[in-house]
Amino acid sequence: MRARGLGQDDLRRHNLSAVLHRVHDRGQVSRAELTESTGLNRSTVGDLVSGLAAAGLVVEDRPEPAARARAGRPSLVVRPRPGAVSAVAAYVDVHALHVVRVGLGGQVLDRRREPHAPRPDSAGVARRIAALTAELAPAGWPERAGLVGVGVAVPGTVRSEDGSVAVAPHLGWEDVPLATLVGAAVAAELGTQVRVDVANDADLGVHAERLRGAAQGCTDVIYLCGTLGLGGGIVCGGRPLVGSRGFAGEVAHVSVDPAGRACRCGSRGCWESEALADAWALPFDLDAHDPRVAALVAGRLAVGDVVARRTRDRISRSYARGLASIANVFDPQVVVLGAGLWRDLWPEVSGDVLPWLQRLVIPVLRERLPVRLAGLGPDSTVLGAAELAFAPLLADPLGALGDRATA
């Protein structure tokens, strides 16, 4: 993986990044596999691994007995060093704040969940993220540079240049400088500046699912999540679809019924308004904002009365129209249902949705349009936020560690 046009320092930085990326993505990888996947020679890989080990990022172990029993000299296995560095990731969901500490390699080390009231105060959320970051911090952290950063996922549109939330309608936020608020709160709590990055929840969810979940190996993916609102993360040809201002993927406002329910965007019959919590709750006299809404809807559907049958048919058809629209436009390899109402309801209603989907997508797509539940379960988004925090370290492993980079 020799990059052309780079000086020696830049080339080493590039190659260190390539090696650490593979160790992080795989959790463990042999030197032989690193040599094959990077295209570098054995001695160069050995030197790079030694540099990462000297910086305290990785360790090398002998392979498992089964691997040692194979013919030939066994290759050492490279793993993230336990406790070396970690990231804090937060997901500001509509019902609760989820905060986790994640180690290099993607392992969840600890977690907290705090319910909050509808439309929470953004400054208050920032303070709670900071307090939980301190609570999750091991002894001596971050003085030894153990905290690489904080990643925050939000169900709304985010300005990538400064981490401000342009609008998160179901949180009641508009023009909120969230990265600045969280950064100041974490600095006050920990006594040191920490990098904070903010991004859309669905964009982070699709990244995590491609890395370790239900979309591994896929280059064209649509990821859907949300309970009150519908978020969409889209990857085309292996690249995230972000749009000219970073706001692409607003699949919630695909029209599925022009004469349907009024939508918060000012239109009618949007996918979100016709197929999410409000649409399910109204016929059953349920509270769409109840955190238990998915279980409550499933319970009413199980009754099987006239209202349940009509509601199931109408909303399943609307959801299929939305799925068919994005499938016809993007031709994905897989549609992944992430955290939210439809992931929870899918086992109950997939048998109603899929026949409609087969009728609505163009014939050439019908035989290969799998719809899968998120492989990471409800953690897709928060683990995607962890990847956001790890990105600077993975791009420049020794430079990001500063004084710890002695190799």
Half-sphere exposure of 114 (CA within 13 A, CB side): 18
Domains and CATH numbers, the chain: 8-80 (1.10.10.10), 86-203+381-404 (3.30.420.40), 216-375 (3.30.420.40)
CA angle 353, 355, 360 (to 5 degrees): 90
Residue type present at position 79:
R
Q: In 3D, which of 123, 99, 119, 91 has the Cα closest to residue 231?
A: 91
Structure tokens at 104: 């290099």
Separation CA 53–CA 223 (nearest Å): 36
How far apart CA 301 and CA 308 sit, in angstroms, is 5
Residue 171 DSSP label: T
370: DSSP letter: -
pLDDT in tens, 98-132: 999 999 999 999 999 999 999 999 999 999 999 99
- The predicted structure's pLDDT at residue 71: 46
Residue 139 token pair: 């002894």
8 Å CB contact between 399 and 29: no
How does strand 77-80 pair with strand 196-200?
Answer: unpaired
Which regions of the chain are under pLDDT 70?
1-6, 64-74, 139-145, 402-407
Structure confidence at residue 244 (pLDDT): 79
